[in-house]
Structure 1
Amino acid sequence: MSKKLSVPSMALLIIAAGLFVTSIFFPWWGMKFFAPQYPEGLDIIVYPYKLEDANDVSIINGLNHYIGMKEFSEENFPELSYLSYIIGGLALLTLVVGILRNKKLLMGLIGLFVIGGALGVYDIHRWLKSYGTNLDPMAPIDVPPFVPPIIGENTIANFVTHSYFTTGFFMIGIAFILMIIPLWKDRAQ
């Protein structure tokens, strides 16, 4: 049984590495806020290195003040200062594993990816929990603590929020599938 991946599997890993790098330039996660006074919705869009739509974030921060929620800002999310480098490193490792065509290294890389992905989802949940449960008790409007979902809908006062993954996240998902295919495709070699 060969420990080398096939040349087509190597190509899949090189494409996966490209998707990792490309995903950095697309949003990964977002939250849209709807209320009677904002029927078009307000957005928080998260890239691996920034929050998009500063105007909407500013309005959301102004509204969140009334329920005692701390402000959303890039400074409050230190992950945005280094996440792009982690993804770039993962892309480089994927490229190296593809070039070396080593199955054991690929299994290790997939394990690293799964652990990193789980930590990423945990980090999003941790921030949402922190923002929704550490409310200022002196805020003008008293709402019970809450945890917005990572994906899905939530209602607080007259606001309905929709949380969702977006383009960059899906690119990462496709890259992961491209990493798994070689293990299945080359299993008998």
Structure 2
Amino acid sequence: MMNVIWGFLMLSGIAVAAATGRMDTLTQGLFNGAKDAVVVSFGLISIISFWLGMMQIAERSGLIRAVARVVRPFAKWLYPSVPVDHPAMGSLIANMSANILGLGNAATPLGLKAMDELQSLNQEKDTASDAMCTLLALNTASLTLIPATMIGLRLEFHSKNPSGIVVDTMLATLIATSAAIFLDRFYRRRARRKRQRTMDIAA
């Protein structure tokens, strides 16, 4: 679906540029965009490498385990259908810990691994389970203490105060996480009541 949307945007942009006689502007914009993408990508490589290195240091120093111990009771409450000793729970806790520390690039593969392991617990393989929906919601709106990637982008674009978004990010992600948890539980309970009504009618 995303390919269709991006394809439509590109084709409509080319059509409008051709109709208005601004193909030269479109061409210049394409080249400038490609150049900026390369420049930003190279700038982010150092930031990502730094934070991935910090992730390794945090893991070896025991910081990740400490965060995981704090997160574990919360994870049990969020994912009641996942057995505590199942590998999925370990991946879920690692994903949450990486997101809290602002290591989104490390959190993504952990989230994919957790999703794959949750699928092994899923009874309906063609339908996302409650735990899978919760993971998707929380991974998208995760509480972040250190927005490392955004600080790196602000550094790349010569911000006068790159770390000035830390408090705002913490507040915004706290609100987003709270909303995600509330809506996840709300729709989960509503779906459970709907299934119960269906079963009662069938009985």
Q: Report if TM-score (shorter chain) is over 0.5.
A: no
Q: So what's the TM-score if we normalise by structure 1?
A: 0.36
Instruction: Give the structure with the higher percent helix.
Output: 2
